[in-house]
């Protein structure tokens, strides 16, 4: 009776607390992520400062501001400016889709032209209408988001303040919080450790193996686009970085069509250079850097990462980049622990039956 009431009380209180902090869900998620990522650095700073955890957390927080927060804000401002410029060119007619389509269609090889005919993509008016509508809708959405960011600057600053505030306390008192959470998990000691380790490993692997690789690929792609004189290099770089977060899609969805366009419009050396750099440099970053950063920390198949990332984005927005894979890892980890427990119980039952059989034979 008392145990059931206590469980019900804990559930009701937890649901109520979750409802209260729901407006700051994103701030809490990223505070947890950032604190987990920078805990090793914070521990080193704490040792250098002779165990003064508050001062160490404050210094680590300033490092996070300089390395992560401020560059991200500057990049977002530049991205919005370039996106607005591209949209203005599209609206004014400076970007002439008709000319692009006619030029590319005329220079395509016969086999490619036949494929377009089968797909019904040779009708300029229909293709232009579809692409124009899609581009206009995309840029209108982006402009609306920029406007909402401007209108909601106060709420953004509030969420940023909450995130930094929570990050400070998680850096300073994270080991205490982790110990309290571990004691509250109703599992055996080794299973509790396995769950928490899985949780932190997935967050570190997601950030290191996905966000860091995305930043590198976007940065390299943007530099290559800028070096080749392709307009909106920052916009293209950020777009490649975003697509690199999705397994089986990657940056090729951006640089391959651009390389084809350059080749079809007569910019041969730019198209060849972009194709070679895209294949040997941009795409190889994922194959080279991700194993170094991640290793086998998560052991999640690419298809689960893809589905959980897309599902996380659909449910939680940008926060889903981390939340989706973490939930998937928790799901796999829970079933792994459950399977190990069942196997251990089955082995124990077999051993017990064998011991009872041996005892019967002896008697």
Range with the lowest mean pLDDT among 9-23, 94-108, 193-207, 251-265? 94-108
237 pLDDT above the threshold of 70:
yes
Q: What residue ranges do the domains of the chain occupy? A: 23-184, 189-347
**Residue 148 in tokens:** 């909402």
Q: Best-predicted range by mean pLDDT among 112-116, 189-193, 226-230, 304-308?
A: 226-230
Alpha helical stretches, state H, the chain: 2-21, 25-48, 53-64, 70-92, 97-107, 110-119, 124-151, 153-184, 189-206, 213-227, 233-243, 252-264, 268-277, 283-294, 302-316, 320-362
In which band, very low, low, confident or very high, does the pLDDT at 326 lie, cut at 50, 70 and 90? confident
pLDDT tens-digit map of 269-313: 888 999 999 888 888 887 777 766 665 555 667 777 778 888 888
pLDDT tens-digit map of 43-53: 999 999 988 99
Torsion of CA 79, 84, 87, 93, to 10 degrees: -120
Q: What is the pLDDT of residue 62?
A: 93
Instruction: Summarize the confidence of residues 134-161 as an average pLDDT.
Output: 59
C-alpha count within 13 angstroms, C-beta hemisphere, residue 67: 11
104 pLDDT above the threshold of 80:
no
Residue from 75, 133, 124, 68 nearest 100 by CA: 124
In which band, very low, low, confident or very high, does the pLDDT at 72 lie, cut at 50, 70 and 90? confident
């Amino acid at each position: 009776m008392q145990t059931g009431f206590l469980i019900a009380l804990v559930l009701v209180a937890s649901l109520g607390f979750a409802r209260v902090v729901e407006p700051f869900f994103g701030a809490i998620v990223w505070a947890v992520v950032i604190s987990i990522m920078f805990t090793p650095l914070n521990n080193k700073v704490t040792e250098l400062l002779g165990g003064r955890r508050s001062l160490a957390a404050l210094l680590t927080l300033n490092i996070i501001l300089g390395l992560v927060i401020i560059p991200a804000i500057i990049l977002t401002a530049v991205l919005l400016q370039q996106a607005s410029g591209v949209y203005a060119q599209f609206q004014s007619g400076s970007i002439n889709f008709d000319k692009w389509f006619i030029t590319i269609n005329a220079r395509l090889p016969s086999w490619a032209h036949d494929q377009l005919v089968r797909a019904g993509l040779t009708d300029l008016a229909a293709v232009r209408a579809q692409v124009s509508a899609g581009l206009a809708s995309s840029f209108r959405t982006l402009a609306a988001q920029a406007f909402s960011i401007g209108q909601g600057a106060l709420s953004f600053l509030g969420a940023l303040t909450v995130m930094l505030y929570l990050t400070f306390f998680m850096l300073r008192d994270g080991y205490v919080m982790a110990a309290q959470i571990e004691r509250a998990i109703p599992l055996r000691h080794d299973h509790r450790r396995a769950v928490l380790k899985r949780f932190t490993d997935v967050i570190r692997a997601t950030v290191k193996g996905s966000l860091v690789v995305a930043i590198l690929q976007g940065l390299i792609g943007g530099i290559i686009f800028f070096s080749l004189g392709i307009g909106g290099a920052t916009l293209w770089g950020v777009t490649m970085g975003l697509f690199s977060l999705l397994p089986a899609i990657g940056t090729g969805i951006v640089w391959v069509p651009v390389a084809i366009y350059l080749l079809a419009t007569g910019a041969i050396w730019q198209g060849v250079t972009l194709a070679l750099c895209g294949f040997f440099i941009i795409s190889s970053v994922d194959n080279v850097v991700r194993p170094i950063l991640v290793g086998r920390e998560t052991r999640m198949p690419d298809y689960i990462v893809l589905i959980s990332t897309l599902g996380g984005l659909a449910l939680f927005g940008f926060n889903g980049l981390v939340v989706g894979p973490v939930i998937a890892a928790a799901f796999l980890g829970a079933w792994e622990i459950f399977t190990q427990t069942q196997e251990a119980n089955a082995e124990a039952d077999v051993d017990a039956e064998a011991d009872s059989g041996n005892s019967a034979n002896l008697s």
